[in-house]
Copies of this chain bind each other. A is one copy, B any other.
Amino acid sequence: MSKVYNVGILGATGTVGQRFVQLLEDHPQFEITALAASDRSVGKPYAEACAWKLAGEMPEKVREIVVQPIEPPLDCDIIFSSLPSTVARETEEKFARAGFPVISNSSSFRMEEDVPLLIPEINHSHLQLIDLQREKRGFDKGFIVTNPNCAVVSFAPPLAALHRRFSIESVFVTTLQAISGAGYPGVSAFDISDNVLPYIAGEEPKVETESQKILGELNNGVIEKADFTVSAQCFRVSVLDGHTASVRVKFKQTSTLEGVMEAMTEFPSLDLYSSPKPFIKVCDEPSRPQPRLDRNNGNGMTITVGRLFPDNIYDYRFVALSHNTVRGAAGSAILNAELLIDKRLI
C-alpha cells in the first residue's frame, strides 16, 4: 500500500482548481487537506466559496474544508498551483522557499532555466534541475516544477516521438482551442457563439517556444533546447473541452509512414497511477480525432492523433488532440506529483 500525501491546492475555486479536486477525489496517493483561494473565498467552507461548474457533484469530502489565504504555510506535503500567472510568480516562489514542493500549472516559471517543464513520459530526466534550482534560489526542501501550456500538450507528445526517430527541423501548428482553456468566466458566450476567435492573448509565443524546452537534452545542468522551429497560429472555437492541433512536420532524416505511425504508437507510457495506456493513440477513421468523442480517451490523459498522411510540402501532416483541463492542466500536474514520488523527490 502506497503512502498517502496531503496536498493543498492554490486557486482551488477556479476551473482548473475544480479539476484538481475532481481528479483527486479517489486518488490513492493524495488526500486534499488544504484549499486556498482569493480573499473573497477565505473563511468559507469550499462548498460555499466555490460555484462548482463540472458535471457531477462536488466531492463530499472537500465540502467542509474551510478555504484559506494563498500564503504559506498550509497544512500539506505538496502544493498544486493553478494560480493566474499574474500572481503565480511571487506566490509559488514563496511556497517553495517555505519548503513545499510546488507543482505548478501556471506559465510563470515554465521557461526559467532551472525549472523543469515536464511531460513525464518525455523528459523526466529534467528533474535533475531541482538540485540546481534549490542551490540557485536558496530553497531548502522546496522546489518548483511546471507542466506545459495546454495547447502545447496536445502536439508535443507526437513531436517527441518523431523527434527521437527522425530529428525534426520545423513544425507548423494551427490550434483550435476549447473555451475552458480561458478559465471562468473566460470567454463571453456573445463572442464565441456562431463564431471563431483568431486570437488568444499571449498564446502563440508560448506554443512556439515550450516544446523545444520539453524535448531538450539536459547536459551539465543545462537544458539544450531541441533544435527545431515552431510556427503557431491559435484559434478559439466553440468547444467546451479539448484542444485540437493541426500539424505539419519536416524532418532532418528520412522516414516512412509506417515508421512515423510506429514511433507514435510505440512511444512508451509510464507505470504511474494516472499514466494512460496508450500514451499516444493513433486513429484510422478518417474523421477522428474529435474533441467531444476523444478528449476523454485514457481518462483524459491520452493524446489522440489522426489524419496522419504524407504532406505535399513538409514530410507529414496530422491532427492531435488532448483534454486541455486534464492532460493540459490538472491531470498533468497530478502526474508530475506521481512522478516526483516515484523518483523519491517528495
Q: Which B residue's beta carbon lies closest to that of A296?
A: B55
CB-defined contacts of A191 to chain B, threshold 8 Å:
53, 185, 189
Contact status A286-B199, CB under 8 Å = yes
Q: Tell me if B238 and A189 are in contact (CB < 8 A).
A: yes
B196 touches A237 (CB 8 A): yes
Expressed in whole angstroms, the Cα–Cα distance for A233 and B244 within the complex equals 12
CB-CB nearest in chain B for A247:
B233
Q: Across the two chains, which residue of chain B brings its CB closest to A289?
A: B198
How many residues on A have C-beta within 8 angstroms of the other chain's C-beta atoms?
Answer: 60
- Docked pose: A57 CA to B289 CA in angstroms: 12
Is the C-beta of A324 less than 8 angstroms from some C-beta in chain B?
no
B196 A244 Cβ-Cβ under 8 A = yes
Interface residue ranges of A180-206 to B (CB < 8 Å) = 180, 184-199
Nearest chain B CB to A205 CB, angstrom units: 10
Q: Which residues of B contact A199 (CB under 8 A)?
A: 286-287, 307
Q: Contact partner of A186 among B56, B190, B287, B293, CB < 8 A?
A: B190
Copies of this polypeptide in the complex? 4
Of A186, A190, A229, chain B has the most CB atoms within 10 Å of the CB of: A190
Are B286 and A248 in contact (CB-based, < 8 A)?
no
Measured between beta carbons, the chain B residues less than 8 angstroms from A133 are none
Q: Is the CB of B246 within 8 A of A290?
A: no
Of all chain B residues, the one with the shortest Cβ separation from A234 is B246
Does residue A11 face the partner (Cβ distance < 8 Å to B)? no
Measured in the bound complex, the distance between the Cα atoms of B319 and A187 in whole Å is 20
Which residues of B are found within 8 Å of A306, using beta-carbon distances? 198
Interface members, chain A 280-297 (any B CB < 8 Å): 286-293, 295-297
Q: Is the CB of B190 within 8 A of A15?
A: yes
Is the Cβ of A188 less than 8 Å from the Cβ of B185?
yes
Enumerate 26 A-B pairs (CB-CB under 8 Å) in ascending A order: A15-B190, A54-B293, A56-B296, A56-B297, A57-B297, A174-B233, A176-B176, A176-B235, A179-B193, A186-B188, A187-B189, A188-B188, A193-B194, A193-B240, A193-B292, A195-B290, A196-B239, A196-B291, A198-B287, A198-B288, A199-B286, A229-B312, A231-B248, A231-B314, A235-B246, A238-B239
Known: A176-B196, A194-B238, A230-B312. 16 other contacts (CB 8 A): A53-B190, A55-B292, A56-B293, A56-B296, A172-B248, A179-B189, A179-B193, A185-B191, A195-B292, A198-B306, A230-B313, A231-B311, A231-B317, A237-B238, A238-B238, A246-B246
